[in-house]
Structure 1
């Protein structure tokens, strides 16, 4: 490589957002460089459960699920506590079908349909996300794209516009084993650099209490893209809502990811004293906030044989069989015995379950305000059918779900709301989409959807420049 190379587009980050933007830009006839800080593609996307949220799909129709864009929008607004930018949500809804069909046309199927966190109907489509990112990367390279692994973006290049126009981002300086060089971008630079779950400095600045969560997410998620945009005056959104996700075993590591959401099928969550402390039907991001306030940051998912029977082997978030096989689930024929095995106060657990069961039987108010199994939907189930089970879990800092402010066209805007020309952002480096919490599947979903959107915006930009 020379010290400077020209492209139409430079994309930073090779997760689902960056890969989608790169491949679709390539399909639109643009020359693209895809820069990845780590030695491998995928980032947090490849470490995720693989769910994407779509409505109006073939899978929903096959399962008799009645959904609509209006219901999807309402659910996202509720789970985000009406703190989301509705323009971003509507942009997602307007483009979701195109992205869904694009993925399907490439042979990427969805093997399971689930109703997950924040959903009143099933719209979580389970993908083979590792296969998707690998296939998209292969397609990108085969199409002539430059994939630069082990290259870190260190500074955005901003120059005066042609003809005396305002300043514009025209490229990025990257550093690799082969030195420092500039990649110029005629249409724009796209930040797809993920969140900052691996940045102690940024977490300490915006959410110091989250340092107690189990660190997770892509190793490259240290907030580089956010910092570069922030340096140019980019606005920030949703920074006060950073929270880890509840449901991972205390021994979770980079090499083995597990997350159980038995509380969405009827389990309750108790602390070491056997006391419930939260409405279990809420988003697991809000549950993560709650569990960090408990002794040892620990919450036990407690359930009986009715919930145990709902295990789905091989399905992320739902595979109790696997968790039991590796010894992460306690079981016993009585609640006191279960409590002793798990390290929960037996008296406290017995009293909590008795109150919970009594409230269900009397159709009375629940002490934590729980009215349904998941997002207020689904009848509550008494915990009364032995054997009984307990799964100890903590909050896992998967990603931060906040970041730079953007328009529905993925243009980065500054603190005054003005577009920073030539700079775009997609995926988890952006804020404003999720609000206070997120719906399962909208994280990967927004990466793919806004990756598609920005590719079309960039193609239109090149076309305008060519004709001017």
Structure 2
């Protein structure tokens, strides 16, 4: 028998059910379910197109209890209402000719409380998982354990009623079933734990009730599989001998297959690190005759037929295929025809491949994506030598282009010669070549160098395109034409460009700086919105009306009521707009001036700005939207009192005229223009600013020249927590996460979660005019931005509060008393001193302890040009200027006399998408 015949011949399971071949699609989390765990049509289609030529599809894990979902967007089988949706998946798979198997699980202590409405996760014992920030679960009572077994049984019954051919019991990945077998997580002393014989009771009970349900509701062809993780690193933990003991017990009760859960199918032991023998070989050598009768499935690293053959040669009977099935829905048919595959995904083909948006942004999928949006780009092939500057030196970079791609990037000359420099260059080079675009994320810790390399590539591409156009007889003097020109590439500009493109417009983005991102990239806290599905999932009761009233109060009742109402009403829609484009803000905290958690941020608690810009730029490049960097808008051209074009000035002082009917100005505010700030607020002379150097108010001046009115120009916000030497903003999410402010004497002096203007004023009123933001390891672990502050050297840390006080030069007796008093307020959830009512999350008592010295800095200009609720720019008579739109900090009126933290990010997405929509509508009309 040839290897190919061995792979593709039918395979019979122990219960007599025949699979058409030895290949199965591995269960891979897609996070594509609705907020309540029901099935979306997008998920049905995802599975439909991957069924057919493959033997069976194992559908991603389904939670059997609403306390058991381990990730957002999980699908459930926890009640009978879920049967109808799951039936659509089963029908879709079986209709294409593959077997349909459903994996069932409970996350146990791996469940994030935020996913289950703030409730405490359950587990065999009240022991937190050995990972940062893990929650201590509640131990299940004996009756609850039996109830959990019954819930697994109910899940099996529902899977049968939904039409699945079988179930896979998920006893791996440190989820609940594995937790019951592990001596690390199960330290009970009843019938469900203690000795290994007792710890095996729960998985055996789940298998027994699975058989019971199959006998009652299914026929003999129903497949029962079991997935397991062979080892744990923890001490104590599961060792390979323990796993064999468990599997022998399971096999004696009847299984149709066992599924090794490994990242690579031929991986050796993670415990016995000196032994290179693949675990599957050890398994085959050590198993009993009974266990040998149960087929064993491998997974991990399978891309081509040779990978399958290698797995079978080492002892696997079946092979599960993961990422290759995502990249190639017809993977089995391709390898059957002898095709040799490379594991990557064309960035322009998400819809064609039926990959749901939530799965598209998973790291395992993102790592496979290659940006092919430049497929229509045309360059004059050749080598282009570009000289660029990073923070430290001049770099000479050779960029080799072929007619439709970036072929190579090489460092020709640099005064820097270090391992770190070379490594970061190779990393950014690889990102650009893989994505086939310079619009990629910079390397952390080497931002300046990354941006220089990206700029060199962009300059080479521009020169090459011009050279090709000239060679083909193009006239450089001929005015270019676009439906919409977006000025500025921060969050508002990118959102406007993406929305305009999606409305059918041809879009150009013009950015005066050498990089994309504007001031948005510095945003830290998050994005405010009320009545979102992410709030509902976490059990947060909020209302748009409350959001409106708190924003109005925060703005000192000076907000434009109509703009604020549009802002509040559109906020949850804007959260979904981002989610639909792979930018998921599903962790929630709070900021000053808010009474409820409504500040949405990335799941890992990182600063929102970099994450947001990274996601928007990915969307920009996938759509092939044109970008001109290092290019200023010299003038907005008018004809018959309507926008007719823009005149641009490039870095080479070349004037370019672009014809357009719609311009979206999204150039940000003027916080970095000290003369302009002092013009409107003389009292702010000498203050540092948190803004990037491009925030100079140029867009306001441009629009004023075509008749735009302005509003609230004197309303300039200072942010209370700015590190003064670097002008680095310390995110409000740190205070929202539970930090406090203390003065040089070690005392609290104000409500940390009051509005920014009031907190800033209280710091300025201190004799020393500065304060410290103080937090502990608990706050740090839940706010990834804190790690960035530590890495930048902004943080003073110590093992104890006393040691921290001594490092800061403050009276440690006063400081210790402050912490003790505040921790008492947290325990009682009542701040007797300053009336703080939000973010009294946890006592500050977990070392190490951290402090950052801060003082206020100019942060946001609430004033700007006047706009209406469609983001149209209004003239001094309050009439729309045809073809002119504005969004983001360049526009005034929304925030009134003070901006609430988290409202700016909402502003840029809400009004950015509105501006893009209206600009495209005008261009098409």
TM-score normalized by structure 1? 0.82
Alpha-carbon separation, structure 2, partners of 1:248 and 1:406:
31
1:26–1:216: structure 2 CA closer, same or farther, 3 Å change rule?
Answer: same
Alpha-carbon separation, structure 1, partners of 2:555 and 2:806:
38
Report the counterpart of residue 86 of structure 1 in structure 2: 561
Alpha-carbon separation, structure 2, partners of 1:250 and 1:34:
33
2:524 aligned with 1:42: no
CA contact (8 A) 1:286 1:437 kept: no
2:68 aligned with 1:68: no
Alpha-carbon separation, structure 2, partners of 1:360 and 1:201:
44
Alpha-carbon separation, structure 1, partners of 2:873 and 2:533:
34
2:839 aligned with 1:371: no
1:358 Cα deviation after fit: 11
Instruction: Indicate the RMSD between aligned Cα atoms, in angstroms.
Output: 3.6
CA contact (8 A) 2:690 2:722 kept: no
Deviates more, 1:271-280 or 1:109-118: 271-280
1:355 Cα deviation after fit: 9.5
Report the counterpart of residue 885 of structure 2 in structure 1: 424
Alpha-carbon separation, structure 2, partners of 1:196 and 1:66:
37
2:481 aligned with 1:6: yes
Report the counterpart of residue 230 of structure 1 in structure 2: 704
Correspondent of 2:796 among 329, 338, 363: 329
Alpha-carbon separation, structure 2, partners of 1:425 and 1:322:
33
CA contact (8 A) 1:260 1:320 kept: no
1:280 Cα deviation after fit: 2.5
Return the structure number with greater relative CO, CA threshold 8 A, min gap 6. 1
1:296 Cα deviation after fit: 5.4
1:462 Cα deviation after fit: 3.1
Report the counterpart of residue 534 of structure 2 in structure 1: 59
Alpha-carbon separation, structure 1, partners of 2:573 and 2:819:
47
CA contact (8 A) 1:11 1:34 kept: yes
Alpha-carbon separation, structure 2, partners of 1:26 and 1:173:
22
Q: Based on CA coordinates, which of the two structures has the bigger radius of gyration?
A: 2
Q: Deviations over 1:61-114 (max 9, x none)?
A: 221111121122122112222211121122123333332222212222225211
Report the counterpart of residue 196 of structure 1 in structure 2: 670
- Give secondary structure in 1 for the equivalent of 2:835: coil
1:239 Cα deviation after fit: 2.6
Alignment of 1:320-399 (within 5 A): 323=790, 326=793, 328-331=795-798, 339-344=805-810, 370-374=834-838, 390-399=851-860
Alpha-carbon separation, structure 1, partners of 2:895 and 2:880:
21
CA contact (8 A) 2:681 2:714 kept: yes
CA contact (8 A) 1:198 1:215 kept: yes
Alpha-carbon separation, structure 2, partners of 1:84 and 1:436:
7
Alpha-carbon separation, structure 1, partners of 2:560 and 2:736:
27
1:20 Cα deviation after fit: 0.8
CA contact (8 A) 1:401 1:431 kept: yes
CA contact (8 A) 1:249 1:328 kept: no
CA contact (8 A) 1:427 1:450 kept: yes
Report the counterpart of residue 771 of structure 2 in structure 1: 299
CA contact (8 A) 2:593 2:754 kept: yes
Alignment of 1:416-455 (within 5 A): 416-455=877-916
CA contact (8 A) 1:38 1:219 kept: no
1:2–1:49: structure 2 CA closer, same or farther, 3 Å change rule?
Answer: farther
Report the counterpart of residue 871 of structure 2 in structure 1: 410
- Give secondary structure in 1 for the equivalent of 2:505: coil
1:273 Cα deviation after fit: 5.3
CA contact (8 A) 2:583 2:612 kept: yes
2:632 aligned with 1:152: yes
- Give secondary structure in 1 for the equivalent of 2:644: strand
Report the counterpart of residue 269 of structure 1 in structure 2: 741
- Give secondary structure in 1 for the equivalent of 2:575: helix
CA contact (8 A) 2:521 2:610 kept: yes
1:411 Cα deviation after fit: 1.3
Tell me the matched-pair count. 444
Alignment of 1:236-255 (within 5 A): 236-252=710-726
Gaps of 5+ in 1: 162-166
1:454–1:63: structure 2 CA closer, same or farther, 3 Å change rule?
Answer: same
1:226 Cα deviation after fit: 1.1
Report the counterpart of residue 164 of structure 1 in structure 2: none
Report the counterpart of residue 313 of structure 1 in structure 2: 781
Gaps of 5+ in 2: 1-475, 603-607
